Structure formats: C-alpha cells, structure tokens
Structure 1
C-alpha cells in the first residue's frame, strides 16, 4: 500500500503542476498572463508563473501523501492547511514576494486531498463533495490576517474562494467542466475547449479578483463580455476582449484558479484506468 500511496501522491502532484502550467499557457486569455502578454498584470510573467507552479509540486505531493485513504477530519484539515501555508512561503520565495498562485494552492490543494482520500478512484462528484466537506472544517491555526479576497467578500457579500470550496466547487461542476466536455464533444480543439471553459467561469463567477480591482461595474462588464464571446466563439473577439480587460485593469484571477482546478479534476480521472494505461500516463505528465 505504501508504494501505491507514494505513486499516487507523486502523480497527483504532477497533475496539479501540469494543470497550473496549462492554465497560464492557454492563449489568448482576457486580462490574464498568457503566451502573448501579461494582461492587466505589471508584476507577473509567464516564466514567473511557470516557476511558481513547478515550486509547488512538493506542496501538492505532501498534501496527497497525508490524505491518502483518509476521511475528512479537523486534524487533516489543519495538516493540509499547514502544508499549504508552507507552500505559500515557498511560492513567495521563488517569485520574490509576488502572489502567483495563492488561490490555486487553496482550491487545488483541497481537490488533491480529496482525490487522494479516494486513492484516485473517486468520481468528480465524490471529489468535490469531499473537498467541500474538508473546506467547511475549522482550522485553529489559520492566521487572522486580512486579505484582498476576504475584504472583497465582506464588502460585496460574495462567497469568494472559500465559499466556492465550501459549497463543493459549484462553478466547476455546473459551468467549466460541462463546457469543457461539451466543447470537446462538438469537435473543438483542446485549446478552444479550455478557453470556452474559462469564459464560462468568467460569465458566471463573482470573481473577487475583478471586484478587488474594479468593483461591481468591472464584474458586470466582464460577465457580459464573456457571455457574448460564448455566443459568437470568435478568437478575434477574444483578442479584443483581452485589450479591453487590460485597459480597464480587469484580471479574472479567480476564474483562472478555477480553470486550473477544472483541468486537475479532468486529468485525475485518467488515474482510474487500467494499470498499463496508468503507468503510461504517469510517464507523460
């Protein structure tokens, strides 16, 4: 069993890292860092985001390892939170103090834990349910520091990253993942399917990153424009939207985190296949 535990922990960590890198490399994304530009960000680059994702591999592996074949509990919640905070420190070390993936550590960390509880055999629905149960448990050691996300949720009465997780990631199960699968079924390229999934999130999520930068007006604009893209599906329009978001200082960072989490949930399902396929998969990530 210990060998299975180590194997799955490493695999889950690699899938998490790959999902973060695939999110940032997806192009063109409105207001976000991608292969073309840095969007509405002055302190981020593609290389910095990639370096950050690679540095977090060990964090996700540790979360998976301690969660393997366990059940949600307060002690497990506190253990993975401590690992996550250490991961944040590592992130800040390699980025020179820039917040690249704090939200993603929270979201994907919970999903890594949930997937590991089921030894990689659980469905998406089971994984998000467990992640939500874990997110609702208390963490006695959580520092009482104010964050941009916390300030925005209090000011505007939205759920934010914490609420999304505690509800079992409804925007993933109801928006991005169905859109990803539907777009693939319609014969779209993987890149276009992922862009559609991202825009579905922007169109529906009360993104606290957008609210922090531009308030309700910016959020309303982003949602309407994302929905418009989903009706016409033209990449040229997405390039224009990128320019508009950048000019308005709109960055849908919360949606980007959930897209990475969506990709993780989608990829980790491959682990449930037969051993031969699983081994081949492990070597490709």
Structure 2
C-alpha cells in the first residue's frame, strides 16, 4: 500500500513543468549582480519592484503554467483551439499576478514566454530538446488569438512602432532566437570554462543583452540607452565574462550606465528565465523502457 501511495503522490508532467517555470523565474530574480534589474542586492532601476514581490509573483503563476501544460496535453497538437486556450489562460494568469502585486507588472512578458514554452514542452514530452520545444512554441505564437486585446498604446507597442524593432511577441514567433542563439550557447560555454553556475547565468544574461532590442530599455532610455546596454554587455564578455576580475569591472561599469539611465533590461531578464527553463528540460524526458 505504501508503494502505491508513493506512486500516486508523484507530480504530473504539468505540475513538474509548472515547477520548472516558477523556479526559472525565482532563479532569474535571485541572480546577482544584474545591471539595472531587481536582485538580492536591491531594486536596481525600479521604484515599484523588489525581490519579495518578484518571488510572490512567480509563485502566483504556478497554476497558470500548470493549466497551460495540461491544455497542451489534452488537446495534443499545435492548433487554433490550443492557441486560444493558452491566450485565455495567460490573461487569467496576468490578472492573478496583478492581484498579488497590487497592480505592478512583474512578469507579463514571462507569462507569454514561459507559458508558450510550458505548453510546447508538454507537447514534446517524449524528447524535450530545447530547439524543438522553442520551434513548437513559435508555431503556437504565430497563430492568431481573436480574443486578445489590442492595445496600441502599451509601452511595448509604442516602442516597436517608434524604433522599428521586434518585441516579445516576435521573439516567440521566431523561436526565441535570443535564447537559442545567445543565451543557451553562452551558458554552456561559460560552464565548460569553469565559470561557476552563477557566473555562467550572468554571462548568459549578458549574451542576450548584446543583441536584444530590449523594449524595456528603449522605453526608458531610447536608442542611446539600448546601444550603451549592448556595448556594455559585449565589453563584459570580451573581458572574460563575469568570472574574471576584468569582466566584473566592466559589469560594474554597465550597472552604473543602467542606473544612471534608470533603465532596466526586463526583456532580457524574461529571456534568461526562458533560457534556464529550456536548459533544464532534458531530465524531464521519460526514461527508456527497461532503464534503471
């Protein structure tokens, strides 16, 4: 009987994916020192955010990520029914987030990115390869959601129009290139180079920042701020990354730039969380029959 109870207590795939998504958000928030972002040292360039709020927001989103993965399992394929279901679940999750944060937008972009990836991972559960999961998420993101509110006055929409850049929606529709081409490769390179896990994650964030047209930075600091973010991130990596003394000096200089501009690379932070989520997917594949 005890063995039966133990088997029944095992979390479902949807629950494990929700755990993974929430942990990715927690790990992104805790990672320090991040230039301009909330971390264990303080609020960065934000007046309305702090680490406790980021944690509370992440935990509040667990039911949303679980429901998205379950919907993918139930519907079983990329298609309009799943896309519309995910859209509604995402809007419900955003409302839950805003209730917990008293109206502060902590993770709107992360709901979009990690929600799509959670659903895609549920569809690709037999072989959750990062690139394949990102491609499935992209196929979902390219489908329309007729019920989605159209808000041309949002900060993201205004920035994309003004500067002609791609936003979070387009990142997903293109298969998260900042994650697949910058974040994940740098994470692996830094680990193999002996940087240590925290430094490797910081390097992954910086690699994302080198190329991303971060709409959060553009909104607060314009093209000059974006250029300074990208060049500063490149300087850290060129100096040897966050595990080196020279790299840390460049990181402090970049943080000074971001704080002086009151600019926070929130888009890059969301994509770092997506990077951490995809990095950890391999252990979620079911063991082959007969394996130990």
| Count of matched residue pairs | 273
Q: 1:259 aligns with which of 269, 272, 279?
A: 272
Counterpart CA distance in 2 for 1:68 and 1:119 is 9
Q: 1:132 is matched with which residue?
A: 138
Q: 2:211 aligns with which of 186, 204, 207?
A: 204
Q: 1:86 is matched with which residue?
A: 92
Counterpart CA distance in 2 for 1:110 and 1:263 is 15
1:117-153 alpha-carbon deviations (Å, 9 max, x no partner): 1125221111011100100001010012232111111
**What 5-or-longer segments of structure 1 have no aligned partner?**
276-285
Secondary structure of 2:281's aligned partner: helix
1:239 Cα offset (Å): 2.9
Larger Rg: 2
Q: Does 1:239 align with 2:246?
A: no
1:62-101 alpha-carbon deviations (Å, 9 max, x no partner): 0000101711101100101100000000000000100000
Q: 1:37 is matched with which residue?
A: 42
1:236 Cα offset (Å): 3.7
The 5 A counterparts of 1:211-226 are 211-226=218-233
Counterpart CA distance in 2 for 1:205 and 1:120 is 31
**What 5-or-longer segments of structure 2 have no aligned partner?**
1-7, 242-246
In the TM superposition, structure 1's runs of 4+ consecutive aligned residues that sit over 4 Å from their partners are: none
Which TM-score applies when normalising by structure 2? 0.90
Name the structure with the higher helix share: 1
The answer to which structure, 1 or 2, has the higher relative contact order (CA under 8 A, 6+ apart) is 1
CA RMSD of aligned residues (A): 1.7
Q: Does 1:28 align with 2:41?
A: no
The 5 A counterparts of 1:56-71 are 56-68=61-73, 70-71=76-77
Contact kept in structure 2, 1:68 and 1:119, CA below 8 Å? no
The 5 A counterparts of 1:147-186 are 147-186=154-193
